[in-house]
Amino acid sequence: MIPLDTLYLAAVAGAIALVFLLKPGSGSRRRAAVLVALAALGGIFAEGLRALAPGEPGTILPTIFGAIAVIAAVRMITISRPVLAALHFVVVVVASSSMFLLLQAEFMAFALIIVYAGAILITYLFVLMLARQSPTDSSEGPFDYDAIPREPVAACLVGLVLLASISGAIVQDAESIRGTLESPETVAAAEIGGFEDLEAMPRLLDEMATKAFPGASGVAMDESGRRLRIHRRVITTEDGQEAIEVTADATVLFPGGELPTIWTLTAADLPGNTRLVGMKLVASFPISLELAGVILLMAMYGAVVLARRQIELGEDERREAAGLPRLSVEDVDPAGGAA
């Protein structure tokens, strides 16, 4: 059982500071709130990382990017000018995509920057520009609804409960997170999965075989339709530790009657992140992919329908659009006309 007192204390301090940051306030109280918030952030990080990654190298970069993301997020919800809030959200996006890079999710990191910072945020800025009328800007300060929060204490209480339960659960589970992370079984299972994905990409496999063996025509398929024979064995390394080694054998064919060669692939030959993510996307989640397309189409229709300027058509215009003659005074039912 890991004691969570310090973590919860830091969360409470952070929530109280956030209440004061949300309220429009004078200089000194705000500065004090900023200091308390920073201290609380430091406390949460120190306490969390002490449980999650004790003595591990490489927690510096995630801490720096995480601090940037969290500070920018707090600025985003406390700043009164909406345009600056949107720009702070860009900082959050860039910081989280650097964290994606640290987690070796290269494709998602750049997709995030392109889609979020490039597309979604620009749409937000457009709507802000459309909605904001210039005269009130800068001369009279922000609108009331930007400056004064709604129930900051209750909101921060909800946030505190949420943060305490999520981070408490993460820290409580630190043992199992550390155990799964980089355990030989996890790595071996991932490597086997990677080889299976590679086997499902025969053209890539043939290309790699031609690169490795100039003049080769491709990789042979055996009777059961397999191209790779995946082996998993426990080996003992030089320093006497046991490790699991995963390799795959392929039979490389040559066109001109030359004898086939056995080609052994190691984990270093596995395709990169983008190829494997693409493979996973189309091989494991094809229906979801189609549904995502449908969602986007529906959203497009919905946005067009919602944002279109609604024009009230009179009876005459509708009749004209339907190709009917306009209503004349004599056509009108006498009773209705008299009313």
Partner 1 sequence: MNFAPPLLAAEAALPGAVGGVLLVSALLFSIGMVGFLARRNMIIMFLSTELMFQAAALAMVAFGRMHLDLSGQVFVIFILTVAAAEAALALGLVVLLYRRRETLSADAWSEIHE
Kindly identify the residues of this chain, within the stretch 181-240, that bind partner 1 according to CB under 8 A.
181-182, 186-187, 189-191, 193-194, 207-208, 211
Rank residues 54 and 260 by Cβ distance to partner 1 and give the closer one: 54
Q: CB of 203 within 8 A of CB of 217? A: no
Rank residues 79 and 221 by Cβ distance to partner 1 and give the closer one: 79
Rank residues 185 and 320 by Cβ distance to partner 1 and give the closer one: 185
Rank residues 87 and 221 by Cβ distance to partner 1 and give the closer one: 87
Rank residues 191 and 253 by Cβ distance to partner 1 and give the closer one: 191
Kindly identify the residues of this chain, within the stretch 13-32, that bind partner 1 according to CB under 8 A.
18, 22
Please, is 139 exposed, middle or buried when counting C-beta atoms within 10 Å of its C-beta (0-12, 13-18, 19+)? exposed
**Nearest distance, CB of residue 67 and partner 1, angstroms:** 8
Rank residues 83 and 221 by Cβ distance to partner 1 and give the closer one: 83
In the numeric block, the tokens 């030359």 are attached to 258
* Residue span binding partner 1 (CB under 8 A) among the ranges 94-102, 254-262, 311-319, 324-332: 94-102
Joined together, the tokens standing for residue 173 give 């589970």
Q: Residue 297: how many CB atoms within 10 A of its CB? A: 10
Q: Does 285 participate in binding partner 1 (rule CB under 8 A)?
A: yes
Pairing status of strand 261-265 against strand 242-253 = antiparallel
**Nearest distance, CB of residue 337 and partner 1, angstroms:** 34
Q: Does 84 participate in binding partner 1 (rule CB under 8 A)?
A: no
Please identify which residue in 17, 20, 33, 52 interacts with partner 1, judged by CB under 8 A: 52
For residue 60, the cross-strand partners are none
Please identify which residue in 4, 217, 267, 319 interacts with partner 1, judged by CB under 8 A: 267
Q: Does 265 participate in binding partner 1 (rule CB under 8 A)?
A: no
Joined together, the tokens standing for residue 206 give 């043939």
**Nearest distance, CB of residue 156 and partner 1, angstroms:** 6
Query: What would the x/- binding string for partner 1 be over residues 119 to 138, using CB under 8 A?
Result: xx--xx--xx-xx-------
